[in-house]
Chain A
Amino acid sequence: MRLTRSKRMAVGTHAVLAVVASLAVSVPAQSQGATITGRVTAAGTNEPLAEARVMVVNTSVVVPTNSEGRYVLRGVPTGSVEVRVLRVGYQEQKKAVSVSPGASVTLDFLMTQAIVRLQEIVTTATGEQRRVEIGNAVSTLGDVNQRVENTATTNLSDLMVAKSPGVVLLPGNMTSSAPTVRIRGLNSLSLSNAPIYVIDGVHMNSDAINGNVGGTNTSYLNDLNPAEIEDIEIVKGPSAATLYGTAAANGVIVITTKKGRAGATRWSYYAEEGQVRDRNKYPSSYADWGHCVGTACSAAELANPIRCNLVTVSAGLRANAACVVDSTTSANLFKDKTLSVLATGPRSQYGAQAAGGNDAMRFFVSGDIENELGPVKMPDVFISRFDSIHTSVRDEWIHPEAFQRSSFRTNMNATLSPKIDFSAQAGFVKSDQRLPQVDNNTFSYLYNSYQNPGFIPERIGESAALCAATPARCLGYPGLDGVTPTGPGGGLGPYELHGYGLYSPAELFQRVAEQGIHRFISSANTQWRPFAWMQNDGTVGIDVADRDNLVGNRFGEGPASGTTRQGTINDTRSSNRQFSAKITSNSSWQARQNLNFKTTVGSEYGSSEQEQTVGSSTNLPPGAFIVGAGSVKNSSDSLSTAVKTLGFYLQEQASFRDRMFLTVAARSDQNSAFGTDFQRVFYPKASLSWIMSDEPWFPHFDKLNQFRYRFAYGASGVQPGATTTFRTYASSVVNLATNNAISTAKDTSGLIANALGNPKLKPETSTEFETGFESRLFNNRLNLDLTYYSKKTKDALLAQPIAPSSGAPATPTFGGTPTVLTNIASVANSGFEAQVTTTVFDRRNFGWDMTISASHNSNKILKIPGGNGFCSTSVTTACDTVLSAAQRWQVRGRPINGLYYLPFTYSDKNSDGIITPDEVTVGRTTADGKRDTTTFDYMGYSAPRDLLSIQSGIDLFARKLHLTALIDYKGGFALFNSTTEFYCQQTNFCYDVNIGPGQSKVGAAATLDDQARNVAQRYVTGVKTQVGYVENGQFWRLREVSGSLKLPDVVSTRIRAKDASLVFAVRNLHVWTKYKGIDPESGYGNGDVQNDFSTTSPPTYLIFRLNLHY
């Protein structure tokens, strides 16, 4: 394969860094100290505690306990030292001991169980650190393994949703589709507001991938197997993410995979079987059947039923031709057992894990296979139709929604010497995914279902053939695909639509969209402690993904649209490579008895490279499904991009009496995407953590066990796109006739101006301060964590529009409004986050714990060019002058993507139960009686700003049965019900235009409100408004319910297991909302604004799982 210059350099770069890492490892150990050995056990039971972290305070000497709870600390500095032990679920303990050179001392610890279990060690950019030393709020998911084993967790977003205050997570809407994650509000108007991900020290690709199905994306996140994850920490903002540098301003999600533990090899097996169901309430279609009355009625209108709606009834079909409703029919293809594309999809997952080793070498290995068929399935009636014409039905047609993943992981930790530890982590994933055509797409099964005319012809006594022969009998609905020529080469040919709009599921599901990914994520880390006061870390890692997306259909298959059935294929192949290298050196110094310092210097290099090639062709021969087989081929340029960051950082931490911790730090970054006129950015940081309750002057209350004050300030950035600094040209293939003679026409290559570029580009920089406290109350039964944050993003990048009359080019769309990316805006976020973790009961036979999280965010644009700023999602026009029916605008003083609409009023003046255009007034009436159709109302946030979640677990029957539930709330935002809006604007089948016979006297009739909102957007003359479809998006969702039953010992023993448990878990069980659309979490795409248009929402999972531990 040809190596580009950038690739050659990347290889060279990587080689140099590898040498650096190896040098760090090869420096020999030098000094000897004392040795402390001991055992860590649980108070009360004396059970050995494995995986406790034993450390000599203020040194780099730290070891884990083995399976017997034993530890050995070597190279301990002589003199008086303190040894601290930390373990999840137990209270921290510290003991002082005096050691002399070469001495060996024994120190045992008896640990008291903590009532509220919190993660005491967290992973930071400079390494692992005690939670209490950090000035930021830290969100950890806790025992991920337990969550995976006990709840219906199929992917990373299931793990994270509703678990952490301040984190808005919109789950993927289909099988393994991409979630959208936003933390502490939106910072950027033009760049991604998504957080970055770091796994085992390596920057991980988390991009959404165009699924080629109309909107729904897939995601690189779904390549991660939750069963392999030990812990997830969410670093929420710049104050905590400073040392992660450029790209971290939107937060960092730090993932740590499972590690081996010393002791006998422990095996875990699990088997999962489940179901996936789409329990959404999709709307019905309606038909108002009537007859024509009047002298202007045509013969056909008099001979056949006609369709009426609220306008034709009130205003007539035309002069002297009225529409009188006789009856109403309705149909809902999703509720029709024969015709519905929704079925129960099976799901299974099987896996095995082993962990073990000894003090010198520990390992973790795992393997997992997951299969899921989504709930979308070709109805049997169409399968039978294929059978009848002797067409073999491929599985991909029957089950167009499917996901399969095989994942393997091997992690290894080695203690090469008392001074050198080495670890290596490697995970490989092979995933295959298939999605049906859906969302904003002519071939969408939803679109074609919603296009049902309000009846199914054969169900109303009109055969499909009759409908086709005389469309008027079926209100113009042909019913039979008889007007479409038989597909080229025969194929399916004409057949009944059975109530579907343009195409039946049989045709739609013949069009296949598949994706295959091979993913390898690996890292190696070396820790070298040449002195007790120094620890050096080197980490090198890669994340490589090879992806193939295929969409199209074979000859004679697929929807009979245009040339589709001649066979089309589009094959997108991409390679994504992330390389990370990091060196950190920590040195500690005890300056005074109660004053300790820790200095950290470090350097980090990251390189993200992407390549993509698209090949497509049409006019395929029968059976062929490769690009090369088509007679008309196209191949897009392979555009390679690379974004590289080199950063250095320095941090100083001071600890006073082990109760006050002060940190100051700074990071400096250079990035390949910065403009040529801008080279370096500095990100400062400072934080304070103060355990005030340990101070002698702090008033001691019976109910208050600990009180820690936190303050943090910091900055980090988001880099511009890889190529946005450049002024570029693009190739343009032109078909031209030489000498103006058509017969000589041929394709030739030209160039056109493309991006305007901006050499002054620099990163968006977000600075944040947060303050709060953490307190333990009621005999440590309740932990209350409260945080206030205030974040300001300056130099926010804005795609600053340029008026078209300049002739400026637009990237990438011809005809798009030209823009140039400029550091020009400013955005503020503030809010609070609270989390209460409590153990209500903690008895031997009964336990009840609860975690309540809540957060509120305020987002405001502080600075934006123009009078009142620029408006609309594409930031194209000055919002103080724009006229629009529906807009998301950027307005100074308002939130990013705020919703603005023209208001309307209505009145059923004649009380006939029908709203007519003359009864609706768009705009507002001014004091002088004129109508103002230029002043838009601000309708609110377009994304949730209020979050609340309640997680609760109950242990019953001597804790053999564990029940959990998670309920979450999202509110404070408005959602544009674009599905209803669109179909009510476009069709006469929608509820809002259905009035029923006798108009308001019939129950099926649309309410006056619903009629009015549709009239306002569809039938009024002049300026229209869609404001009636902006609805309150708030909801409560029963997100998770599960029951885990530990099997009796007699059963475990019989299968020779240490323990075994059976789990029944349900996800997305029920939603409470006033939102009238499909679901308040309907959404596709992964932008900052949820897009509800013609899409679905997360399905319901019902899962049985068996966990076996050996």
Chain B
Amino acid sequence: MTRFSHRARTVAAIAVLAIVPLASACNFKDQLLQPQQPGLILPTDVSGQAGADALYLGALGRLKAWTVGGNVNQEAMFPMMSLMTDEYKSSDTFSQRNETDQRSVQTNDALVQSVYTQAQQGRGYARDALNTMLAVEPDAKGKIAEMYFALGFAETILGEVYCNGIPLGEMKDGQPIYTAPLPSTDALKVALAHFDSALTLAAAAKAPPGTAADTVIAANVRNAAAIAKGRVLVDLGQYATAATAVASVATAYQYVETFAQTSQDNGFWIMTTNSQRYSVGDSADATGTIKNALPFASAGDPRVPSAKNTLKPFDNQTLPYFVQTMFGRDDAMALLDGLDARLIEAEAKLNAADYTGMMTILNALRTAPPTQGIFKPAALAAITTTPATKDAAVTLFFREKAFWQFSRGYRFGDLRRLVRQYGRPSDQVWASGTFHKGGVYGPDVNWPVTDNEKTNPNFAGCIDRSA
């Protein structure tokens, strides 16, 4: 037992294992540990032109996803916005949807938080693609213009629906650059600047050096950015300037968002036909008449087709239940279109007290309805009576606008504008009174920027919740 020293024994023991360190000298260790993850797409994969193009496509996909794309049981921004208004009502069990429908939204509302974050991420994806394209294919001006358009569109919606206090930061070298919260109007002005950039770049696109495809893209973006610019100008109360901005857009124009079962479904189909969590809104329900709500379901208006009680509501209690029949699973929608341009012009007429001019535009649309996505309603009879007062004209205009732009993400901003720009008290604009799931409608006229923004050291909550 004592023939070997302890040191000798330790050395002997280590020698037994020496093969491992020896192997390590042959880079064996690195092979053992190399963190190979063959499924990963790394920054080097997107550093070239092909990568930039892929990011551009990805950003367009996200634009569609955050606006109207549908997942299994989760909606994007436009469906959620429509739930806040009288366009749809919740037939769901999720408290977040019920509270949104009730206009009583908590600052940690998971779904409002989700659509807020999606829109902000939509900006981020557009910014990623923009930065990469500017670095590796600066002559692709049409695509770059479209990314500016995508940025501006997200900022437009954020400005239209969220409270005063919207931060618009960005990521740089993997680190967040946080900014101070902006009042809604300032957020809209940021969007306006991005639409101007889009318009300038789109106008400059040419082939060569830009490709022919790029000039086609640029032509499309010119129309889309013009409508979006007009929309923001209307939001800012610059009606005449808005009308000028959209004047060149043809009524038949559409910036389309298409869907396929193999990639993404139409979000309205998901929330209504597929999951029955939304019912088309109406002016009355089981509790009686809903103050200020339009009869979208019961009016029988061909612009808002629906069916009553052919499906069961998800909550098994919202009766009657109306399912929309406008959108199928794969049905395309128009993010912006010539109809929007005409309505911007009509609103300019309204604010210029040219009610006849306004009616001319509205009746032209009624008698020759444009196609939106793939949906084209039957022609309507012209309205023969021209409003005599601005109040009556406003009421008529926004009713027409609501039916024309049903499910298009306009109603939320329009109701807010009726308070902000047209001076109507909020309880004479938003659905009010008894809520069909118990209690009464709440006081919200916008959404709070949600709590997950509070990581931003500049943000402590909404500046105010006024319209």
- Write the residues of chain A forming the contact surface with B, with a CB cutoff of 8 angstroms: 4-6, 9, 12-13, 16, 20, 23-24, 59, 77-79, 81, 296, 298, 311, 317-318, 442, 451, 471, 476-478, 483-485, 501-502, 531-534, 536, 561-563, 583, 585-591, 597, 599-603, 605, 607, 618, 632-634, 637-642, 644-646, 648, 670-673, 722-723, 725-737, 739-742, 745-754, 756-757, 801-810, 814-818, 870, 872, 876-878, 881-885, 887, 917, 982, 985-988, 1018-1019, 1021-1024
CA distance A841 to B453 in the complex (A): 66
Verify A727–B43 contact, CB threshold 8 A: yes
User: Contacts A562-B274, A818-B121 given: A805-B167 contact, CB under 8 Å?
Assistant: yes
B16 to chain A, nearest CB (A): 5
Contact (A646, B311) CB under 8 Å given A602-B17, A809-B121: no
Chain B residues 40 to 76 lying within 8 A of chain A, measured CB to CB, are: 40-43, 45-46, 51, 54-62, 64-66, 74
Given contacts A5-B38, A483-B310, contact A750 B55 (CB under 8 A): yes
Q: Of A471, A725, A752, which one neighbours B125 at CB under 8 angstroms?
A: A752
Contact check, B118 vs A644: say whether CB atoms are below 8 A apart.
no
Assess whether A751 is in contact with B439, with CB atoms less than 8 Å apart. Answer: no
A728 near B42 with CB under 8 A, answer yes
Q: Beyond A601-B14, A732-B61, is A483–B39 a contact (Cβ under 8 Å)?
A: no
Partner of B17, one of A601, A734, A757: A601
Q: How far is the CA of A377 from the CA of B367 in the complex (A)?
A: 59
- The answer on a CB contact under 8 Å between A742 and B125 is no
**One of A9, A587, A1024 near B9 (C-beta < 8 A):** A587
Q: Which of B5, B34, B39, B453 contacts A9 (CB 8 A)?
A: B34
Q: Are B6 and A589 in contact (CB under 8 A)?
A: yes
CA distance A636 to B256 in the complex (A): 27
Stretch from B24-32, B195-203, B347-355, B422-430 contacting the other chain: B24-32
B460 lies within 8 A of chain A by Cβ: yes
B42 adjacent to A727 (CB under 8 Å): yes
* Contact (Cβ within 8 A) A733 B39: no
* CB-based nearest A residue for B77: A815
B451 close to A882 (CB less than 8 A) = yes
Chain A contacts of B35 at CB under 8 A?
Answer: 642, 644, 672-673, 722, 725
A806 to B173, CA, bound (A): 12
CB-CB under 8 A from A534, the residues of chain B are 9, 12-13
Instruction: Flag if B106 contacts A885 (CB, 8 Å).
Output: yes
Does any Cβ of A come within 8 Å of B332's Cβ? yes
Check B438 against A311 for contact (C-beta < 8 Å): yes
CB–CB B171/A807 < 8 A: yes
29 pairs, A vs B, C-beta closer than 8 Å: A77-B1, A318-B434, A587-B9, A591-B6, A599-B10, A642-B37, A644-B34, A737-B256, A742-B256, A742-B373, A750-B56, A750-B58, A752-B59, A756-B174, A803-B176, A803-B178, A803-B456, A805-B120, A805-B166, A806-B120, A810-B121, A814-B65, A818-B121, A876-B451, A876-B452, A877-B108, A878-B454, A917-B439, A1021-B439
Q: Which of B228-236, B314-322, B379-387, B397-405 contacts A (4 or more CB under 8 A)?
A: B314-322
Q: Shortest beta-carbon distance, A815 to chain B, in Å?
A: 4
Q: Chain A's nearest CB lies how many Å from the CB of B454?
A: 5
Does B114 sit at the interface, judged by CB under 8 A?
Answer: yes
Could you say which of B261-269, B296-304, B338-346, B410-418 contacts chain A? B261-269
* A818 CA to B61 CA, complexed, in Å: 19
Most B-side CB within 10 Å, residue of A632, A734, A816: A734
Q: Is the pair B262, A733 in contact by a Cβ cutoff of 8 Å?
A: yes
Cβ-defined contact, A79 with B6, below 8 A: no
> In the complex, what residues of A have CB within 8 A of residue B373's CB?
742
Name which residue of chain A comes closest to B63, CB basis: A734
Instruction: Provide the bound-state CA to CA distance between A814 and B120, in Å.
Output: 11
- Set of chain A residues within 8 Å of B61, measured between Cβ atoms: 732-736, 750, 752
Given contacts A726-B42, A806-B124, contact A633 B262 (CB under 8 A): yes
Asked if B36 is at the interface of the complex by the 8 Å CB criterion, the answer is yes
Given contacts A502-B314, A644-B33, A806-B170, contact A597 B6 (CB under 8 A): yes
List B contacts of A16 (CB < 8 A): 23, 28
A232 CA to B62 CA in the complex, in Å?
Answer: 51
Number of interface residues of B (CB under 8 A): 122
Q: Does B88 contact A (CB under 8 A)?
A: no
CB pair A804–B262 under 8 Å, yes or no, is no
Q: How far is the CA of A808 from the CA of B178 in the complex (A)?
A: 11
Does the CB pair A502–B34 fall under 8 Å?
A: no
Of the residues B1, B121, B287, contact of A807 by C-beta under 8 Å: B121
A388–B74 CA distance with the chains assembled, in angstroms: 38
Known: A745-B258, A801-B452, A876-B451. A807 touches B127 (CB 8 A): yes
B 234-275 binary contact with A (CB < 8 Å = 1; else 0)? 000000000000000000001110111111100000000111
User: Contact between B288 and A318 (Cβ–Cβ < 8 Å)?
Assistant: yes
**Residue from A728, A803, A884 in contact with B169 in the complex, judged by beta carbons closer than 8 Å:** A803
Sample of 18 more A-B contacts, CB < 8 Å, known A79-B1, A734-B58, A740-B255: A23-B19, A317-B287, A476-B319, A533-B9, A591-B6, A618-B261, A632-B261, A634-B262, A641-B37, A737-B258, A740-B256, A750-B59, A752-B61, A805-B453, A805-B459, A877-B451, A881-B461, A882-B454
| A1019/B439 contact (C-beta < 8 A), A451-B316, A735-B263, A803-B176 known | yes
A501 / chain B contacts, CB cutoff of 8 Å = 316
A637–B39 touching, CB < 8 Å: yes
Assess whether B60 is in contact with A803, with CB atoms less than 8 Å apart.
no
Within 8 Å by CB of B55, from A24, A752, A982, lies A752
CB A500 to nearest CB in B, in angstroms, measures 10
CB nearest to A612 among chain B residues: B39
Which residues 415-458 in B have Cβ within 8 Å of A in the complex?
Answer: 434, 438-440, 442, 451-456
Q: Cβ of B123 < 8 Å from any Cβ of A?
A: yes
Of A532, A536, A602, A878, the contact of B1 (CB 8 Å cutoff): A532
**Nearest chain-A residue to B259 (Cβ)?**
A735
Bound-complex Cα distance A998 to B114 (A): 45
Chain A proximity of B406: nearest CB distance (Å): 19
Which residues on the B side are within 8 Å of A723 (C-beta)?
Answer: 37, 40
Cβ < 8 Å to A, chain B residues 354-400: 373-374
Give every chain B residue within 8 A of A876 (Cβ-Cβ).
Answer: 451-452, 455
Q: Whose C-beta in chain A lies nearest to the C-beta of B254?
A: A740
> How many angstroms from the CA of A134 to the CA of B26 in the assembled complex?
38
Q: Least Cβ distance of B427 to chain A in Å?
A: 14
- Nearest residue in B to A632 (C-beta to C-beta)? B261
B33:A671 contact, CB within 8 angstroms? yes
- Contact check, A803 vs B455: say whether CB atoms are below 8 A apart: yes
Q: Is the CB of B51 within 8 A of A751?
A: yes
Interface presence of B179 (CB below 8 A): yes
B319's nearest neighbour on chain A, judged by CB, is A476
Question: In the complex, are the beta carbons of B17 and A583 less than 8 A apart?
Answer: yes
By beta carbon, the residue of chain B nearest A599 is B10
By a CB distance below 8 angstroms, the chain B residues around A885 are 106
Q: Is B95 an interface residue (CB 8 A)?
A: yes
CB within 8 Å of A: which B98-121 residues: 104, 106-108, 113-118, 120-121
Contact present for B167 and A803 (CB under 8 Å): yes
List residues of chain A with CB within 8 A of the CB of B256. 737, 740-742, 745
Complex interface: chain B residues within 8 A of A750 (CB): 54-61
Given A534-B9, A585-B16, A807-B171, also A646-B258 (CB < 8 A): no
Q: Which chain A positions have C-beta within 8 A of B16?
A: 24, 536, 583, 585
Nearest B residue to A618 via CB reads B261
Q: Are B262 and A883 in contact, CB atoms less than 8 angstroms apart? A: no
Pairwise interchain contact B39-A638, C-beta atoms closer than 8 A: yes
* From A13, A728, A806, A870, residue with most partner B Cβ within 10 Å: A806
**Which residue on A lies nearest to B50, using beta carbons?**
A751
Q: Are B169's CB and A805's CB within 8 A?
A: yes
Closest to B118 in A: A815
Which of A9, A477, A753 has most B Cβ within 10 Å?
A: A753
Q: Which residues of B contact A296 (CB under 8 A)?
A: 288
A-side contacts of B311, CB under 8 Å: 483-484
Question: Which residues of the partner chain B approach A471 to less than 8 Å between Cβ atoms?
Answer: 319
List the 4 closest A-B pairs by CB distance, nearest first. A807-B124, A750-B57, A734-B61, A750-B58
Bound CA span A805–B179, Å: 8
